[in-house]
């Protein structure tokens, strides 16, 4: 019984999908990613570079402390 309940719960709590284009997670209830839908290819490239720099900074700060 509890297994059936958790299955129902899991169906409600759908895991977000990962977008192949922008590599961000978006709601599984959506057909397409809404994070990069409005971005052009050029904007997407800039967006990825920006995010990579932020990640790098985060990694650096982790190493310092
Ligand atoms: Zn996307």
- pLDDT tens for 18-28 read 999 998 999 99
Question: Which two three-digit tokens encode residue 59?
Answer: 């990694």
What's the gap in Å between 6 CA and the centre of ligand 1?
A: 29
What's the gap in Å between 37 CA and the centre of ligand 1?
A: 6
What's the gap in Å between 64 CA and the centre of ligand 1?
A: 32
Q: Where are the domains of the chain?
A: 2-64
What's the gap in Å between 29 CA and the centre of ligand 1?
A: 14
Question: Which two three-digit tokens encode residue 1?
Answer: 């019984």
Contact 44, 36 (CB under 8 A): yes
Q: What does the angle CA 44 – CA 31 – CA 18 come to, to the nearest 5 degrees?
A: 55
Question: Which two three-digit tokens encode residue 20?
Answer: 């192949």
What's the gap in Å between 15 CA and the centre of ligand 1?
A: 15
- pLDDT tens for 2-52 read 666 677 766 667 789 999 999 899 999 999 999 899 999 999 999 999 999
Contact 58, 46 (CB under 8 A): no
């Amino acid at each position: 019984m509890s297994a059936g309940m958790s299955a129902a719960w899991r169906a409600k709590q759908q895991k977000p999908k990962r977008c192949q284009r922008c590599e961000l997670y978006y709601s599984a209830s959506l057909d397409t990613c809404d994070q990069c839908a409005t971005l052009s290819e050029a904007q997407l490239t800039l967006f990825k570079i920006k995010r990579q720099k932020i990640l790098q900074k985060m990694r650096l700060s982790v190493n310092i402390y």
